Amino acid sequence: MAQFFQPKKKTQLNTKHQSMTVDKLDHQGAGICFQKGKPIFIDGALPGEQVLVQLIEEKSKFSRASLIKVQKASEQRVKPFCPVYDQCGGCNMQHLGLESQLEYKQQTLSDLMSKFSGQTLALESAISGEGLGYRRRARISVMLDKKTRQLQFGFRRKQSKQIVDVTHCPVLAPELNAMLPELHQLLQGFTRQESIGHIELVKGDNTNVMVLRHLSPLTNKEQKQLEAFAVKYNATLYLMPQTDQLDRVLGQEAHYLETGTTIPFAPNNFIQVNQKVNQQMVEQALAWLDLDGNDRVLDLFCGLGNFSLPIAKQVKAVVGVEGVDAMVEKAQSNAALNQLDNALFYQANLEQDLSSQPWASEKFDKILLDPARAGASGIVDQLARLGARRVVYVSCNPATLARDSQSLLKQGYQLEKLGMLDMFPHTAHLESMALFVKRDGK
C-alpha cells in the first residue's frame, strides 16, 4: 500500500494570559519560568517575581512570552529612567538596578567559564563607569512614514524594524544628545526625506562626528544647512552617498586620547563605545600582561591600535595583526603619529592557517587578543607554539571566551584571572578579560 506524507498539524498557540513565577535570568537578561520542565523566556521579568504573561512563541524545547503585568515585584526592580524604555530596542535591563546588573553579569560570566573551562575562579573587581551619558557613538535610524508622511527619527523598536521617535537618549553622551532635536527638525525640511538612510554620530575628544547616509543627491541648500549645523555643534561632517564611499565635507579628523596615546579614527572604524570603561580596560590589560622593556608582544585583532600603541610605550616591540587592510594602514599611521617606531602591523585572516605569515614564525613573550563576538577559534589553537608565557584574552562574548579557553587549557595554560567589564550599562551585554599563564614544564 502506498504511504503518503501527512504533515503534522501545527499546535495552536495558547494565548490566554497565565500567571507564572520567575525562577532566574538567562544570559541575555530575560526571566525564565518553567512549565512542565520546559523553559519559558520573558523579557523584562526578574527572579522571584509573580508575573502575568502571554505566550508569543512555542517550540519543542522552549517558549517565549510577553510580560503583561508584574503581579508581585522583586525588591531589585526599579523604575526605568527612559520614557520610551518599553518600546526602544537599545536597552533591556533598566528595570534592574545598576549594582544588581553588575552582580548578574558577574554571575553570568562565572557560570559560563566554570561550565566550559572546568575551573571555578573568584572574579576580579568589575570595571564599570557611569550609567548615564556613557555612549560616545550612536546610529540614528531615519524613515519617512508612507501613511502619515512624517519623518521618523530615533532607534529601532524591540524586535522590530519600526522606529521609536527619540530626540533625547539618557545613555548618549551629552554633546551628541544636544544635536538630536535640531537635527530632526533640519531633516524634516529636506525635499527627498525618503532618501535619507541613517545618521551616525560619534564623540571624539577634539571634535564630534556626523555622517549622513543619503540615497539621492542633496540640494546645495541642504548641504549648506548641514554644514552650518556641523559648525554650530563643533562637528566634522561626512556624507555617504554610497555604502563604500565616505566623503569628509567639513571639519578635522576625529581622535580620542587614552592612556596618553592619540588615536585618530574614521567614522566607519570600530572604537569602543564607552570611553571611561575602555580606558580602565586598557590599563588593566597592560597590568595583567606584566610588561617589561625586553618584551615582544603580539596583539591579535588589533584594530586601530587601542591596545598595541599603549603597549608599545612599555616594551621592546609590538606586532599587531588585523583582518581589514584599511585598519592596518590606520594603525601604522597612528603609531607614526605617536612617534612609536617599535610597532609593526600586518593584515591577515585570523580564521585561516597562519604558518606562512612572516610574524607567525617569530616568538613572543606576551599575547593579547580582542576578537569579535565569534571569538578566536581560528587562531587560539596556535598560540602556545608562539612561545608566549602570558595571554590576555579580551572578549565581548563570554560564550566564545569559555569555548576558546578550553583550547588554551589544553595547551598548558592556566586561567589565573577573570574579570567583567561593564561596557554597556543597562543592557545584558557584557565584556570580560581573562589572563592565562603558562607554567614551567608545560
- pLDDT tens-digit profile, the chain (442 residues): 555 555 555 667 888 999 999 999 998 999 999 998 999 999 999 999 999 999 999 998 999 999 999 999 999 999 999 999 999 999 999 999 999 999 999 999 999 888 877 777 889 999 999 999 999 999 999 999 988 999 999 999 988 889 999 999 999 999 999 999 999 999 999 999 999 999 999 999 999 999 999 999 999 999 999 999 999 999 999 999 998 899 999 999 999 998 889 999 999 999 999 999 999 999 999 999 999 999 999 999 999 999 999 999 999 999 999 999 999 999 999 999 999 999 999 999 998 888 889 999 999 999 999 999 999 998 999 999 999 999 999 999 999 999 999 999 999 999 999 999 999 999 999 999 999 999 864 4
pLDDT at 114: 87
169 is in an annotated binding site: yes
C-alpha cell, 291: 610588561
Rounded CA-CA distance 23/103 in Å is: 16
pLDDT at 437: 97
Rounded CA-CA distance 17/334 in Å is: 58
pLDDT at 352: 84
Rounded CA-CA distance 361/131 in Å is: 45
Cβ atoms 183, 172 nearer than 8 A: no
Rounded CA-CA distance 43/406 in Å is: 31
| Fold for the domain defined by 137-254 | OB fold (Dihydrolipoamide Acetyltransferase, E2P) (2.40.50)
Rounded CA-CA distance 266/236 in Å is: 11
302 is in an annotated binding site: no
Cα–chain center distance at 226 = 29
Rounded CA-CA distance 310/257 in Å is: 11
CATH 3.40.50.150 maps onto the chain at 103-130+274-438
CATH 2.40.50.140 maps onto the chain at 18-77
C-alpha cell, 298: 603580539
Amino acid at site 177: N
pLDDT at 158: 86
Q: Is 370 exposed, middle or buried (0-12, 13-18, 19+ CB in 10 A)?
A: buried
C-alpha cell, 389: 608565557
Reported in sequence order, the residue ranges of 131-260 that DSSP labels E, i.e. its strands, are 137-144, 151-156, 163-165, 196-203, 208-214, 235-242, 245-250, 254-258
Round the CA-based radius of gyration of the chain to a whole number and report it: 25
Catalytic residue of the set 218, 271, 327, 396: 396
Helix runs in 136-241, H state only: 174-177, 180-187, 220-232
Residue recorded with cell 609593526: 344
Rounded CA-CA distance 21/34 in Å is: 8
Amino acid at site 224: K
165 is in an annotated binding site: no
CATH 2.40.50.1070 maps onto the chain at 137-254
Residues 368, 369, 374: CA angle, nearest 5 degrees: 165
Nearest CA to 47 out of 86, 68, 74, 78 is that of: 74
Rounded CA-CA distance 177/267 in Å is: 18
**Tens of pLDDT, residues 13-28:** 888 999 999 999 998 9
pLDDT at 120: 75
Q: What's the sign of the alpha-carbon dihedral 348, 350, 355, 361?
A: positive
Which residues does 375 contact at the CB level (< 8 Å), separation at least 6?
Answer: 395, 397, 400, 401, 403, 404
**Tens of pLDDT, residues 329-340:** 999 999 999 999
pLDDT at 11: 63
Amino acid at site 164: V
Q: Is 401 exposed, middle or buried (0-12, 13-18, 19+ CB in 10 A)?
A: buried
pLDDT at 9: 56
268 is in an annotated binding site: no
pLDDT at 10: 60
pLDDT at 146: 87
CATH class, domain 18-77, is mainly beta
Which residues does 106 contact at the CB level (< 8 Å), separation at least 6?
Answer: 123, 126, 420
* Catalytic (active site) residue 396: yes
Q: What's the sign of the alpha-carbon dihedral 272, 274, 275, 280?
A: negative
C-alpha cell, 99: 549594582
Q: What predicted TM-score, i.e. pTM, was given to this entire model?
A: 0.92
**3 state DSSP class of 241:** strand
CATH assignment of 103-130+274-438, given 3.40.50.150, 3.40.50.300, 3.30.565.10, 1.25.10.10? 3.40.50.150
Rounded CA-CA distance 417/435 in Å is: 5
